[in-house]
Amino acid sequence: MTVPRPRTNERITALRCLPGCAVQPAARHHHDRLLTVEFDIDELLELVELAVTWGELDYSGVGVVPPEQWLDFAACHEWRDPDRAARIFSVATDIALRPGGRQAVYPLLGEVATAS
């Protein structure tokens, strides 16, 4: 399968799904983009941004693979570097599903911000 890279006309070869990939049809575009996080830094950043804002914004009307499925998603696909892919989705899942408030320290500003 090939998918278009956002922001360019270049096409890249995505990795194939293994049996058990249960992404809903409405989230297929996001599914295809997630397959590129291993080598596309822009998509990796999109995943991190989604993880960071998951508890703050309403994604119910958006066709995305939710964080509760990211580890299963990683397990149901072939990756160039399976350990790296597992780390990517584990960290993103941890960020998105971390309970309670988060504290962000901004050392250059000397301030601490708390998000609930």
Tens digit of pLDDT for each residue in 48-104? 999 999 999 999 889 999 999 999 999 999 999 999 999 999 999 999 999 864 444
14-42 pLDDT, tens digit each: 566 777 787 888 999 999 999 999 999 99
Distances (CA, A) of 68 to 40, 72, 111: 22, 8, 32
Q: Position 67: which residue type?
A: P
Note the pLDDT of residue 104.
47
Note the pLDDT of residue 41.
96
Note the pLDDT of residue 1.
42
Note the pLDDT of residue 29.
92
Q: In 3D, which of 61, 5, 60 has the Cα closest to residue 33? A: 5
Note the pLDDT of residue 2.
42
